[in-house]
Structure formats: C-alpha cells, structure tokens
Structure 1
C-alpha cells in the first residue's frame, strides 16, 4: 500500500490504482474540453465553421473520432499499456475566414493542448486544497482521481504537441513555417497515422513524451514535502 506522499511524488502509480471506468470518464472529458477549445479559438479568430457544426459542446458524441477516440485507446488497453492517450475528431476550420490565416492556424492548434494544461493546473490546485481537508478515505480517493486528471491532461497535451499530422503540433508548425516549407511539410499528412502507430509500437512514443510529462508534473507539485 502506497502512502499519499509516494503517490504524489511517483505519479504513474496512479494508473495502477484507478478503475478503468473512472479513467475513461476523465479521458473523454479531457478530450471534449480539448476540442471545444479548438472550436472556441477558431470562432474567436473569425471562423465559425466549427460553431455551426455544433463542436462547441460538452456532448462527447460530435467529438468522437473512430481511430483516435476508440481504436487507438482500445489498442493501448488491450496491450496492457499503463497509459491512455488519443485524439478526437479534428475540428472543421476554414483558414480563409481567419483574421490572420497563418498565425490564427497556430493559435487554434495550440488552444487544445493549452486547455489540457489548464485542466492539469486546476486539478493540481484542487489536490493542494484537499490535502488540508479532514475527509479521511474519501479525501484519498478524490486526490487519486485528481492526480489522474493531472496526468491524463499532461499526457494529452504533450502527445498532441508532437508535430505529426493529424496532431495539433503539426498544425502549429504548419502555421509558423514559411509558406514554401509549410507546403512541403504538409506532404507527410497522408502518412501521419502510420508514423504515429510506428512511434507507439516501437516504444519511441513513450520515450518522447514521458520525460516531458514528468517534468511538467514535477513543476506543478513542487509544493509537496515529506510532511505531506
């Protein structure tokens, strides 16, 4: 049995302690917020395509992507991966409607991962609050759920920042590159899923994202001491 201090300081223990149904609820909620952020930012930048398509909604159904929301996470679960990651249906956008097409494309791409980082910060703040409340075992259960929320949101943020289509990192990079380089870069889009599955099966995916997730997690929980 792990102490609360050990769990907070060794975040990936949480994946061994949380039930699959609870994990999936948190996972889908994080994905929905992620996609809502894309749609909202696109609307702020002058493109209401996603708004008219009904993508600014907490209803998960419009956001489900067969591969990223169902098949990819299911493969991770069946392969006994300790982590769950994925992506939702890309938000429809029309860059021609943007106020500044190149910059706004990057803004829309960045808004999803930033929303997950925001959720991670909120969850870590709630962990800090709950540690000072006398709630017994209920408190411990809530803290474990919140720690999982921190981790899943950091995982989704870092994973989606990988610059491989259809992940957000590719949209950010495409928006920041000079036009001639962006056009050449977009030629890898048809092979994006192949690259992602190669990274997963080779183990390189975790090698890339886990150190970054661990670093961000440690920053969020610098306040934790042994007296905790």
Structure 2
C-alpha cells in the first residue's frame, strides 16, 4: 500500500478500490492458501488441521494479525502455519508433504486465474497501459479492471514467492519432498537457517533498493502473469 499512497492521495475513490482489492487478495492469498494445505492433508489421510479448526474457509482461522498487516502495507506477510503430521499422509511423509506444500501456491495461481476470467474474456477492459495510469486517469470500468488486477497481482506474487526453495516457504518442502534422499537430507540441514536467510534477503531489499527476492520473482513473474491473464 505504501508505494501507492502518493499516487492515490488525490483520488479517494481509487484508493477505496485499491484497499478493497488488497483486502480481498489478502483473504484469498493467505486464508484460501492455508485452507488448501489443510484440505490436501485431509484428503491424504491426516486430520491434524481439521482437529485444530483449520479445515475451514473462515479467514479468521487462518490469518495472522501481524503477517496480514505487513502484507497490506508492504506486500509480504504470512498466515498461521497449517499443522500437518507428514507421517499420517497416505503417500508417505516426503511425497505427501510435498503435495500438501504445493497445494498452497497452487491455490494462489488458481484464484488469480479465476479473477482473470473477466479480463481474458474481454468483459472487463481498460484503455490504460499500466496500473499507475489507471490510478491517475481512470474511471468506471477501469476501476473494476484495477480491482481484479490487484487480486491477480498479489496472488501471483504470493504463489511465486512461496515456491522459492528457502525454509519455511512451501518451495523448500516441495524440493525436499521430490529430491533424491541424499540431496533432501543435505538441504534439510539448512532448514534452521532458512528464516534468517529470508529476513536477510528482505532487509537487503529495503536497505539497498535492490531486492534479491524481487529479482528471483521477476524471473518468472511476467511469464506466469501472461499465462494467467492471456496477454
């Protein structure tokens, strides 16, 4: 949100659209993400999440106040981790945990694709080339396009971000679940260092203006967005 405050201060209506879209995106990007972890684990035989009240679409069961606020303000954040017992998964602890982990980012791409349907079909369009241009000069249908675009953008960003193979992100669990056992064991030795590595990379972005995580996401972001939106 903070990156758009200057552009939005002269247009309260657009700010309201932006805020509504961001809130919807947080609910879908975080709550639906965690629900899909819980649902996949349950389908594979582990009811730990269900017994902890997490097999629900109620966002209050999944959202973390601090993580949600950071996501709203800065574009990165987290939800309450979904409890999973990998030893109860029918497909085995490694492959099963990888499937449960992948379900989260997959849900983000799914919801982004769902929000993109009106744009792909041409039902919702804008004559402006960028989000910034819509903010400054758009109206009417442009605002609906802006609303959908924010939902698509945040879900795509969350999906890609969570697939980065650094613990505790989902991508780390996916990689350790499908990699050869020796490689997986070696990677798991790095797991305790993961949160520190992640926070260091985020801090570098704020302190230097160059974001290593942003660079990684940018490698595939345009291609993923092109597939989802169809442009």
TM-score w.r.t. length of structure 2: 0.77
Instruction: Pick from 162, 172, 182 the counterpart of residue 180 of structure 1.
Output: 182
Q: Which moved more, 1:51-60 or 1:106-115?
A: 51-60
- Residues 69-110 of structure 1 deviation map (CA, whole Å, 9 limit, x = unaligned): 44x537xx3xxx5xx122222211111111122211111011
- Contact kept in structure 2, 1:85 and 1:152, CA below 8 Å: no
Quick one: distance in 1 between partners of 2:172 and 2:140? 42
Deviation at 1:143, TM superposition (A): 1.3
Residue 128 (structure 2) aligns with: none
Q: Normalised by the size of structure 1, how large is the TM-score?
A: 0.77
Higher RCO, Cα 8 Å, sep 6+: 1
* Distance in 2, Cα, partners of 1:68 & 1:193: 14
Instruction: Name the residue aligned to 1:45.
Output: 44
Aligned to 1:144: 146
Summarize the Cα distance change of 1:95–1:37 in structure 2 as closer, same or farther, 3 Å threshold. same
Which moved further from structure 2: 23-32 or 139-148?
Answer: 23-32
Following TM superposition, the consecutive aligned residue runs of length 4 or more in structure 1 with deviations greater than 4 angstroms are: none
Using the alignment, how far apart are the partners of 2:61 and 2:190 within structure 1? Answer: 27
1:73 to 67, 71, 74: 71
Q: Distance in 1 between matches of 2:77 and 2:37?
A: 16
After superposing the two structures, state which structure 1 stretch, 23-32 or 97-106, moved more: 23-32
Superposed displacement of residue 44, structure 1: 0.8
What value does the CA root-mean-square deviation take over the aligned residues? 2.5
Match for 2:229 among 196, 221, 224?
Answer: 221
* Secondary structure at the counterpart of residue 25 of structure 2: helix
Instruction: Specify whether residues 92 and 175 from structure 1 end up closer, same or farther in structure 2 by C-alpha distance, changes over 3 A only.
Output: same
- In the alignment, is residue 112 of structure 1 matched against residue 104 of structure 2? yes
Unmatched runs of 5 consecutive residues or more in structure 1:
1-11, 224-228
After TM superposition, the structure 1 = structure 2 runs for residues 57-206 of structure 1, keeping only pairs within 5 Å, are 57-65=56-64, 68-70=67-69, 72-73=70-71, 77=73, 84-101=75-92, 102-129=94-121, 130-131=123-124, 137-202=139-204, 203-206=211-214
